[in-house]
Amino acid sequence: MDYEKYMNICIQLAKNGEGNVSPNPLVGCVVLDKDDNQISTGFHAKYGQNHAERDALLKLSNGEEKDGTLIVNLEPCSHFGKTPPCTDLIIERGIKKVVLGMRDVNPKVSGIQKLQDAGIEVVEGVLEDECKKLNEIFIKNMTENKPFIALKTATTLDGKIATSSGSSKWITSEIAREEVKKIRNRYDAILTTSSTILKDNPKMIHKKKIILDRNLKTNLEADIYKNGEIYLFNETLDMFEGGVNFIKAPIKEDKIDLNFVFEKAWELGIKSILIEAGGHLNGNALEYVDKIYQFIAPKIAGDNSALSCFDYRKITEISECKNFTIQATEMFGNDVLITYYAIQ
């Protein structure tokens, strides 16, 4: 059987839950009958709703899944949470084989042993790397108890995000900007700064937003404050007022302490953050960033005074550069998206 074919289907199904399942993982499922014909699919659509395995199996009512195979990108759960254990339903429905992409890093799960004890054959590790990439946020949350931090920037070929006068609309194409909306949807919160708000007055329509405004320079009538939950980190106020959560933050090296911001975000239940800001914040955040999305337009500013995407320090040796590994390159119109990860 072509397990990889069906695991790819699981991964694509799982992505339908992006932006809706946090803090749960993204999961998709395919069910085959005893003759290896696909008879059902499912995915985890929203936190608190049925898991992918339950979604797929409950679509079947005539017993056609008996002695069949269930394929899922993540080990089925064996504990009660918002929903009953998926392993119990798999056993009850007479499934004879379960094919997994990866084991669950949540120690509560332990579904494999329960399935094997029930006489079900378990096949592991199908497209494991791809399955881990799909749930990189969930894995970091579970293994490190920290939010996953990503950063998005849009630049010219020579790494500029705006001219010296601040002109930046638009560096990239509308096609690329539509992809940015999809990327934002993957993360619990967007983080930006007062400088970006004052310069661009962005709407950043999102369910949760983290704003760094040390001296409270932004106007609460700005577009960014008109939607979503707002967490405004600053130096003086610690209160809730006008729909805004003011959070007093310590100052480190004349800036709001980013370590405090990310720790506080975790306490607030924010599992993933996408940074969209200027070069100074981008650069200072690099020590925390897990993943970077860099859109590059086929343009050259050629101006040393234009603003750079990572502009936060001076170095004398090339060996002082921070190193990354490139995971993917994609084209959106004439623009290229390079996705890369920090080397730990």
Q: Which residues are catalytic?
A: 53
Going by C-beta distance under 8 Å and a sequence separation of 6 or more, which residues neighbour residue 204?
184, 190, 192, 224, 276
Q: Is 16 helix (H, G, I), strand (E, B) or coil?
A: helix
Whether residue 251 contacts residue 235, with contact meaning beta carbons closer than 8 Å, is answered with yes
The DSSP H or E segment spanning 82 is none
Return the residue matching tokens 């608190």: 48
Whether residue 332 contacts residue 170, with contact meaning beta carbons closer than 8 Å, is answered with no
Read off φ and ψ for residue 53, nearest 5 degrees.
-65, -45
Task: Tell me the sheet residues that pair with 325.
Answer: 341
Going by C-beta distance under 8 Å and a sequence separation of 6 or more, which residues neighbour residue 241?
none
Going by C-beta distance under 8 Å and a sequence separation of 6 or more, which residues neighbour residue 26?
14, 15, 17, 18, 44, 73, 134, 135, 138
Read off φ and ψ for residue 86, nearest 5 degrees.
-70, -30
Chain centroid to Cα 301, Å, comes to 31
